[in-house]
Structure 1
Amino acid sequence: MKTFPSFVRGLAVVCTLAVSLAAGAAQIVVGQVAPLSGLDGTQARAYSTGIQLALNKANKAGGVNGHTFSLVRKDDGGRPADNLAATKALLSESRPLVLAGYFGDRIVGELVGSKLLETENIALVGYRVNEIRGEVPLVYSVRANLRDEINKITEHLVTVGVTRLGLFYPDGPGAATLLTAMEEVMKARGAKLTAKATYVQGTNKVPNAVVDTFFTAAPQAIIVVASGAAAAAFIEKYRLDGGTAQLFAHSGADIEQISQRLGEDQLKGLAITQVTPNPYKIAGRLSKEFSDIASKAPNLEVPMSYAMMEGYIAGAVIVEAARRMGPKISREGFVNALDSIDVDLGGYKVGFKPGMRSGSRFVELTIVTATGRIRQ
């Protein structure tokens, strides 16, 4: 008897879907399991808001091939075990065509390692990690990878004569790959890694020993590869203790989150790489489109941000793949469409092909003012 109500609900969903398909239209579900609460909650909610804005735009225009879109999301609190369980539940309950907007090195790593994507033949489009990930089937990034960001930072520093660098990074399974990439980039550019220190992945704890490492080695600049919460904690402690090295953070640091915690003296001169166009500045068709849609959206869950722009890009790529898939909806057809995408969203190009699932090389270096604003 306990299973009967759920069976009835399931039967109703099947019947509704059958009627929709018979009419030549259906709802395409995009699934997201992300840390909607916890340390990365603001970024994750911004990302999902961006996805939703892109889906809303498509729906307002009548959908694609007669089909409309919906976003179904679940909160994992940043816990890998909860993410996998919630993803399985979402796949069973909502039957999404595609997953999107996942967060965290361990979470994405364990999702891939579980083989769930392959078993379900479902793609993940758009995710955020603080590590360099190898190419794997069914996992698509709509942003430049961390190696591209490190190369951009190092290239700039060497150009201005800064060659002794430090690195603050998470101690997870991707640490060895990150260090190898760092050494390769610096060797190619003529720089040297003189200090390195880690923090516990998934936290924002910065022990005194970490800061002491950089004071002892005295690098000219420190590259910060960390989540927004951990980056803010490190920058705050390093500056308050009198650290004077130039600080360069990668895009995961999230200026919106950092500026809420740090004061003017700590923010001034901070540089951050960005992997999407500036959401606050009209510099092309994509940024104008995003700005117009976000500014007109009622009751945004979180303020407009780079994370929201990235989510919007992921949503736009999903819509484009669905359009290319044609009227027949299938996960296999969607993946085939993804693997042939080469699209200019308006000053931001995304392209995939088999064996190449990092869709963008866009990286720009931005400077943070004392008031927490971005200056190109």
Structure 2
Amino acid sequence: MKKFAGVARAALAAAALFGGTAVWAAQVVVGQVGPMSGLEASQGRAYAAGMQLYFDSVNKAGGVGGNTFKLVRRDDGGRPEDTVSITKAMIAEEKPTVLAGYFGSKNIADLVASGILAQEKIALVGYRTAEIRPETPYLYNVRAGLKDEIDKLTQHLATIGITKLALFYEDGPGAPALLTAADEAAKKAKASIAVKAPYPAGTARVTPAVDAVIKAAPQAVIMVSTGAAAAGFIEQYKAGGGTAQLFTHSGADIEQMAKRLSEEQMQGVAITQVTPSPYKVNTRLTKEFNELVTKAGNLDVPVSYSMIEGYIAAKVIAEAARRQGGKASREGMVAALDSIDNFDMGGYAVGFKPNQRNGSKFVELSIISGAGKIRQ
């Protein structure tokens, strides 16, 4: 009887704390398997830092709908052969409610092919690839699709009279869809792709591609690659006398490239961005993000586009938890994500529809200045 009374008192205390309704705290475990080391480590770690930044702020405020958040990270070194096995082990050991922050075209393709997402009924929210992925259940992105980025680039080039293009791309499982989209975008812009130059997936071996592009002498080169491969291409292309304008998609880590390349090599390179700039405080989202960065003090990684993308992914996960109205579950997370049609974060909105799991259409173009800094 005394034991029962003690439980009752605890329940009443909880009810008083949450305004008269007993709310039992639950923990949403968010699992990330990504490149914490290797070629894309700076992006993987920055994405994790952005998620942790938001989860810390939410937890300090008491959570969302009685849920607090715990981020669990595992390092696959960017190696596709490790992504699936590490994910399986993490699911068994940590029991995550949702996955987030995965990287790599083949990594994602192998994860989907393994059937583990459907088997475990677990959503993956937020990922980066250099391919156009088919619509896949349980796979949700918080950014615009690669096709949107290519359309933006070709439309921009058409407006300035550039019609002879080259495509530098990762030769992964999604390459055929990418090539089809690039041809369609070029046709709309009344342009032609003079050469399509691939490099092996998961590497930065770019020399044959550089040689092919230099020989074709295009007016502009569109790069759909990792940051490491893009940096290697720019370095060798300019050293080889290449003079075309260089445009890269958002998956290339501009901060990583700026560390490797000289200001002269970087000058004039343009990159599509699929989130608002983390360096400007001109929307409610970027104001909130920068205020939390300031409060956090010394972060493990510098502020970057990858960090704010991770922050956005965390906000979407928290919103999905809130919509469940109680303890979040894997199946509840999927249903809640499907119900998000226009989640406005203040200058950036995410929404999902049937057969449309790229959550945004936001694309803008940034250019690297003579000082090696990003400007819109």
The corresponding residue for 1:238 is 237
Compute the displacement of 1:189 (Å): 1.4
The corresponding residue for 1:192 is 192
Letter paired with 1:80? P
Letter paired with 1:249? T
CA RMSD, Structure 1 to Structure 2 (Å): 1.3
1:154-209 superposed Cα distances (whole Å, 9 cap, x missing partner): 000000000110010011111111100000111111111011211111111222x3
The corresponding residue for 1:71 is 71
The corresponding residue for 1:317 is 316
Q: How far apart, in 2, do the equivalents of 1:89 and 1:350 lie?
A: 31
Secondary structure of the structure 1 residue equivalent to 2:229 = helix
The corresponding residue for 2:333 is 334
Query: 1:170 aligned to 2:170?
Result: yes
Q: How far apart, in 2, do the equivalents of 1:26 and 1:67 lie?
A: 5
Secondary structure of the structure 2 residue equivalent to 1:85 = helix
Secondary structure of the structure 1 residue equivalent to 2:167 = strand
Report if aligned partners of 1:221, 1:248 keep a CA contact under 8 Å in 2: yes
Compute the displacement of 1:26 (Å): 1.4
Letter paired with 1:251? S
Report if aligned partners of 1:255, 1:372 keep a CA contact under 8 Å in 2: no
Letter paired with 1:61? A
1:85-136 superposed Cα distances (whole Å, 9 cap, x missing partner): 1111111111111000000001100100111000000000000000000111
Q: Give TM-score scaled by structure 1 length.
A: 0.92
Letter paired with 2:60? K
The 10-residue stretch of structure 1 (276-285 or 322-331) with the greater mean CA deviation from structure 2: 322-331
The corresponding residue for 1:297 is 296
Letter paired with 1:282? V
Compute the displacement of 1:371 (Å): 2.2
The corresponding residue for 2:17 is none
The runs of 5 or more residues in structure 1 that have no matched partner are 1-19
Secondary structure of the structure 2 residue equivalent to 1:170 = strand
Compute the displacement of 1:354 (Å): 2.9
Runs (4+) off by over 3 Å: none
The corresponding residue for 1:361 is 361
Compute the displacement of 1:23 (Å): 6.8
Q: How far apart, in 1, do the equivalents of 2:357 and 2:214 lie?
A: 39
Compute the displacement of 1:211 (Å): 2.0
Letter paired with 1:118? A
Letter paired with 1:104? G
The corresponding residue for 2:98 is 98
1:279-320 superposed Cα distances (whole Å, 9 cap, x missing partner): 001120001111111122133111000000100000000000
The corresponding residue for 2:158 is 158
Aligned identity (percent) is 60
Query: 1:145 aligned to 2:168?
Result: no
Secondary structure of the structure 1 residue equivalent to 2:251 = helix
Compute the displacement of 1:81 (Å): 2.3
The corresponding residue for 2:55 is 55
Q: How far apart, in 2, do the equivalents of 1:232 and 1:151 lie?
A: 23
Letter paired with 1:199? Y
Q: How far apart, in 2, do the equivalents of 1:92 and 1:329 lie?
A: 18
The corresponding residue for 1:266 is 265
Q: How far apart, in 1, do the equivalents of 2:301 and 2:325 lie?
A: 34
Compute the displacement of 1:276 (Å): 0.3
The corresponding residue for 1:115 is 115
Report if aligned partners of 2:67, 2:327 keep a CA contact under 8 Å in 1: no
The runs of 5 or more residues in structure 2 that have no matched partner are 1-13, 15-21
Secondary structure of the structure 1 residue equivalent to 2:206 = coil
Q: Give TM-score scaled by structure 2 length.
A: 0.92
Q: How far apart, in 1, do the equivalents of 2:372 and 2:289 lie?
A: 21
Secondary structure of the structure 2 residue equivalent to 1:253 = coil
Report if aligned partners of 2:131, 2:175 keep a CA contact under 8 Å in 1: yes
